[in-house]
Amino acid sequence: MRKQIAAANWKMNLSLTEATTLAEQFLQEMTPAKNHQLIVFAVPFPYLTAIQQIVADTPQVFVAAQDCSAHAKGAYTGDTSVAMLQSIGVQYALVGHSERREYQLESNELLAQKVNQCLAAGITPIFCCGEPSNVREEEKQAGYVTHQLKESLFHLSADELQKVVIAYEPIWAIGTGKTATSEQAQDMHAHIREALQIQYGAEVAQSISILYGGSVKAANANEIFSRSDVDGGLVGGASLVATEFAAIAQALR
Protein backbone atom coordinates (compact mmCIF):
# COMPACT_ATOMS: atom_id res chain seq x y z
CA MET A 1 0.00 0.00 0.00
CA ARG A 2 1.21 3.50 -0.80
CA LYS A 3 2.26 5.68 2.12
CA GLN A 4 -0.58 7.88 3.34
CA ILE A 5 0.84 11.23 4.46
CA ALA A 6 -0.40 14.24 6.40
CA ALA A 7 2.16 16.99 5.85
CA ALA A 8 1.93 20.29 7.73
CA ASN A 9 3.44 23.38 6.12
CA TRP A 10 3.82 26.02 8.82
CA LYS A 11 5.23 28.51 6.28
CA MET A 12 6.69 31.68 7.88
CA ASN A 13 4.69 31.55 11.08
CA LEU A 14 5.18 31.12 14.84
CA SER A 15 7.84 32.02 17.35
CA LEU A 16 10.02 29.22 18.72
CA THR A 17 7.88 29.01 21.85
CA GLU A 18 4.69 28.87 19.79
CA ALA A 19 6.18 26.25 17.47
CA THR A 20 7.30 23.92 20.25
CA THR A 21 3.96 24.32 22.02
CA LEU A 22 2.08 23.49 18.82
CA ALA A 23 4.15 20.35 18.20
CA GLU A 24 3.65 19.18 21.78
CA GLN A 25 -0.09 19.83 21.60
CA PHE A 26 -0.37 17.89 18.36
CA LEU A 27 1.38 14.86 19.85
CA GLN A 28 -1.11 14.94 22.72
CA GLU A 29 -4.06 15.15 20.33
CA MET A 30 -2.97 12.74 17.62
CA THR A 31 -4.14 9.18 17.17
CA PRO A 32 -1.09 6.92 16.75
CA ALA A 33 -0.19 6.61 13.07
CA LYS A 34 -0.32 3.21 11.39
CA ASN A 35 2.73 1.70 9.73
CA HIS A 36 1.67 2.91 6.27
CA GLN A 37 0.97 6.46 7.50
CA LEU A 38 3.37 9.37 7.97
CA ILE A 39 3.02 12.73 9.69
CA VAL A 40 5.47 15.38 8.45
CA PHE A 41 5.98 18.89 9.82
CA ALA A 42 7.57 21.34 7.36
CA VAL A 43 8.80 23.97 9.80
CA PRO A 44 10.85 27.17 9.48
CA PHE A 45 14.60 26.51 9.26
CA PRO A 46 15.47 27.89 12.72
CA TYR A 47 13.10 25.40 14.37
CA LEU A 48 14.08 22.17 12.61
CA THR A 49 16.23 20.78 15.40
CA ALA A 50 13.88 21.84 18.20
CA ILE A 51 10.80 20.28 16.58
CA GLN A 52 12.74 17.18 15.56
CA GLN A 53 13.71 16.61 19.19
CA ILE A 54 10.06 16.89 20.25
CA VAL A 55 8.78 14.34 17.71
CA ALA A 56 11.81 12.03 17.74
CA ASP A 57 10.25 9.40 20.00
CA THR A 58 6.89 9.31 18.24
CA PRO A 59 6.69 6.64 15.51
CA GLN A 60 5.89 7.79 11.98
CA VAL A 61 6.31 11.52 12.77
CA PHE A 62 9.07 13.51 11.04
CA VAL A 63 10.17 17.05 10.23
CA ALA A 64 10.81 18.55 6.80
CA ALA A 65 12.61 21.61 5.55
CA GLN A 66 10.43 24.05 3.62
CA ASP A 67 13.07 24.37 0.90
CA CYS A 68 16.68 23.51 0.08
CA SER A 69 19.43 24.89 -2.12
CA ALA A 70 19.99 23.71 -5.67
CA HIS A 71 23.73 23.82 -4.90
CA ALA A 72 25.82 21.41 -2.85
CA LYS A 73 27.87 24.17 -1.16
CA GLY A 74 29.60 27.46 -1.85
CA ALA A 75 29.03 31.19 -1.90
CA TYR A 76 25.24 31.16 -1.74
CA THR A 77 24.46 33.38 1.22
CA GLY A 78 21.13 32.56 2.82
CA ASP A 79 20.80 29.14 1.18
CA THR A 80 20.65 25.87 3.11
CA SER A 81 22.23 22.82 1.49
CA VAL A 82 20.89 19.29 1.69
CA ALA A 83 24.16 18.29 3.37
CA MET A 84 23.32 20.72 6.18
CA LEU A 85 19.84 19.25 6.46
CA GLN A 86 21.22 15.72 6.40
CA SER A 87 23.71 16.60 9.15
CA ILE A 88 20.87 17.39 11.57
CA GLY A 89 18.82 14.35 10.60
CA VAL A 90 16.19 15.95 8.39
CA GLN A 91 14.67 13.35 6.04
CA TYR A 92 12.16 15.40 4.00
CA ALA A 93 12.14 18.71 2.13
CA LEU A 94 9.48 20.63 0.23
CA VAL A 95 10.56 21.42 -3.32
CA GLY A 96 8.74 23.81 -5.63
CA HIS A 97 5.99 25.10 -3.39
CA SER A 98 3.82 27.50 -5.39
CA GLU A 99 4.82 30.43 -3.19
CA ARG A 100 8.48 29.91 -4.02
CA ARG A 101 7.64 29.50 -7.70
CA GLU A 102 5.75 32.79 -7.60
CA TYR A 103 7.78 34.97 -5.20
CA GLN A 104 11.28 33.57 -5.82
CA LEU A 105 10.61 32.81 -9.50
CA GLU A 106 11.83 29.24 -9.15
CA SER A 107 11.83 27.51 -12.53
CA ASN A 108 11.14 23.87 -13.34
CA GLU A 109 14.80 23.49 -14.26
CA LEU A 110 15.94 24.85 -10.89
CA LEU A 111 13.55 22.52 -9.12
CA ALA A 112 15.00 19.56 -11.00
CA GLN A 113 18.37 20.49 -9.50
CA LYS A 114 16.86 20.67 -6.02
CA VAL A 115 15.25 17.25 -6.48
CA ASN A 116 18.63 15.88 -7.55
CA GLN A 117 20.31 17.38 -4.49
CA CYS A 118 17.72 15.84 -2.16
CA LEU A 119 17.97 12.37 -3.65
CA ALA A 120 21.77 12.44 -3.60
CA ALA A 121 21.62 13.15 0.15
CA GLY A 122 18.95 10.56 0.91
CA ILE A 123 16.33 13.21 1.61
CA THR A 124 12.80 12.66 0.30
CA PRO A 125 11.63 15.61 -1.81
CA ILE A 126 7.96 16.50 -1.52
CA PHE A 127 7.62 17.94 -5.01
CA CYS A 128 4.83 20.49 -5.39
CA CYS A 129 3.00 21.09 -8.66
CA GLY A 130 -0.25 22.76 -9.63
CA GLU A 131 -1.96 25.35 -11.80
CA PRO A 132 -2.97 29.00 -11.24
CA SER A 133 -6.56 30.16 -11.61
CA ASN A 134 -6.27 31.38 -15.21
CA VAL A 135 -5.02 27.97 -16.35
CA ARG A 136 -7.87 26.23 -14.53
CA GLU A 137 -10.40 28.64 -16.06
CA GLU A 138 -9.07 27.74 -19.51
CA GLU A 139 -9.25 24.03 -18.59
CA LYS A 140 -5.57 23.56 -19.41
CA GLN A 141 -4.53 22.27 -15.99
CA ALA A 142 -3.68 18.74 -17.16
CA GLY A 143 -1.11 19.90 -19.70
CA TYR A 144 0.27 22.54 -17.34
CA VAL A 145 0.96 20.05 -14.54
CA THR A 146 2.31 17.42 -16.94
CA HIS A 147 4.82 20.01 -18.18
CA GLN A 148 5.95 20.66 -14.59
CA LEU A 149 6.45 16.93 -14.03
CA LYS A 150 8.34 16.44 -17.27
CA GLU A 151 10.77 19.30 -16.67
CA SER A 152 11.44 18.63 -12.99
CA LEU A 153 11.04 14.88 -12.47
CA PHE A 154 11.10 12.89 -15.68
CA HIS A 155 14.90 12.91 -15.93
CA LEU A 156 14.93 10.58 -12.92
CA SER A 157 15.25 6.82 -13.12
CA ALA A 158 12.31 4.72 -11.97
CA ASP A 159 14.15 3.85 -8.76
CA GLU A 160 14.82 7.53 -8.07
CA LEU A 161 11.25 8.59 -8.80
CA GLN A 162 9.95 6.09 -6.27
CA LYS A 163 11.79 8.07 -3.59
CA VAL A 164 9.77 11.22 -4.41
CA VAL A 165 6.44 12.32 -2.93
CA ILE A 166 4.27 14.51 -5.18
CA ALA A 167 1.94 17.19 -3.81
CA TYR A 168 -0.69 18.56 -6.18
CA GLU A 169 -1.68 22.04 -5.06
CA PRO A 170 -4.11 24.02 -7.20
CA ILE A 171 -2.75 27.53 -6.63
CA TRP A 172 -6.23 29.02 -6.83
CA ALA A 173 -7.17 27.04 -3.70
CA ILE A 174 -4.20 27.93 -1.47
CA GLY A 175 -5.10 30.30 1.33
CA THR A 176 -8.16 31.50 -0.57
CA GLY A 177 -10.78 29.51 1.25
CA LYS A 178 -11.60 27.83 -2.07
CA THR A 179 -11.09 24.09 -2.19
CA ALA A 180 -11.10 21.79 -5.16
CA THR A 181 -14.02 19.39 -4.93
CA SER A 182 -13.04 15.84 -4.13
CA GLU A 183 -13.92 15.03 -7.75
CA GLN A 184 -11.56 17.74 -9.04
CA ALA A 185 -8.80 16.53 -6.73
CA GLN A 186 -9.29 12.92 -7.80
CA ASP A 187 -9.34 13.86 -11.48
CA MET A 188 -6.00 15.68 -11.26
CA HIS A 189 -4.39 13.03 -9.07
CA ALA A 190 -5.51 10.37 -11.55
CA HIS A 191 -4.07 12.47 -14.38
CA ILE A 192 -0.74 12.79 -12.57
CA ARG A 193 -0.65 9.05 -11.98
CA GLU A 194 -1.47 8.43 -15.64
CA ALA A 195 1.41 10.71 -16.69
CA LEU A 196 3.71 8.76 -14.39
CA GLN A 197 2.43 5.50 -15.84
CA ILE A 198 3.10 6.61 -19.42
CA GLN A 199 6.66 7.55 -18.49
CA TYR A 200 7.54 4.81 -15.98
CA GLY A 201 4.94 2.06 -16.15
CA ALA A 202 1.97 1.09 -14.00
CA GLU A 203 3.91 -0.49 -11.14
CA VAL A 204 5.96 2.65 -10.50
CA ALA A 205 2.97 4.97 -10.95
CA GLN A 206 0.93 3.04 -8.42
CA SER A 207 3.73 3.22 -5.85
CA ILE A 208 3.99 7.04 -5.74
CA SER A 209 2.21 8.93 -2.95
CA ILE A 210 0.36 11.97 -4.31
CA LEU A 211 -0.91 14.50 -1.78
CA TYR A 212 -3.56 17.18 -2.22
CA GLY A 213 -2.77 20.71 -1.03
CA GLY A 214 -5.24 23.55 -1.05
CA SER A 215 -7.36 24.62 1.94
CA VAL A 216 -7.53 21.14 3.46
CA LYS A 217 -9.47 21.23 6.75
CA ALA A 218 -10.78 18.72 9.23
CA ALA A 219 -14.24 19.31 7.75
CA ASN A 220 -13.25 18.18 4.23
CA ALA A 221 -10.28 15.86 4.83
CA ASN A 222 -12.31 12.64 5.07
CA GLU A 223 -14.00 13.23 1.75
CA ILE A 224 -10.84 14.30 -0.07
CA PHE A 225 -8.67 11.52 1.37
CA SER A 226 -11.27 8.89 0.51
CA ARG A 227 -10.56 9.29 -3.19
CA SER A 228 -8.53 6.41 -4.61
CA ASP A 229 -5.62 8.44 -5.99
CA VAL A 230 -5.38 10.93 -3.11
CA ASP A 231 -2.82 9.75 -0.56
CA GLY A 232 -3.13 12.50 2.02
CA GLY A 233 -2.61 16.23 2.16
CA LEU A 234 -0.14 19.08 2.31
CA VAL A 235 -1.85 21.34 4.84
CA GLY A 236 -1.21 25.03 5.37
CA GLY A 237 -3.29 27.20 7.71
CA ALA A 238 -5.17 24.33 9.33
CA SER A 239 -1.88 22.78 10.46
CA LEU A 240 -1.33 25.73 12.82
CA VAL A 241 -4.14 24.44 15.08
CA ALA A 242 -3.22 21.23 16.87
CA THR A 243 -6.75 19.81 17.15
CA GLU A 244 -7.49 20.63 13.50
CA PHE A 245 -4.36 18.99 12.14
CA ALA A 246 -4.79 15.97 14.42
CA ALA A 247 -8.26 15.47 12.93
CA ILE A 248 -6.84 15.79 9.41
CA ALA A 249 -4.16 13.22 10.19
CA GLN A 250 -6.81 10.89 11.57
CA ALA A 251 -8.62 11.09 8.20
CA LEU A 252 -5.79 9.27 6.44
CA ARG A 253 -6.80 5.92 4.98
With residue 37 as reference, give the H or E element that holds it.
Answer: strand 37-43
> Minimal CA–CA distance to 70: which of 43, 103, 48, 100?
100
151 is catalytic: no
The amino acid occupying position 222 is N
Residue 61's φ and ψ, nearest 5 degrees, are -120, 130
Phi/psi of residue 125, nearest 5 degrees: -80, 135
**Active-site residue among 131, 169, 189, 244?**
169
Q: How far apart are CA 83 and CA 117, in angstroms?
A: 9
* 137 is annotated as an active-site residue: no
Are the CB atoms for 253 and 4 separated by under 8 Å? yes
Please compute, for residue 119, the number of CA atoms within 13 A of its CA located in the half-sphere on the CB side: 19
Burial zone of 243 (CB within 10 Å; 0-12 exposed, 13-18 middle, 19+ buried): middle
Catalytic residues: 97, 169
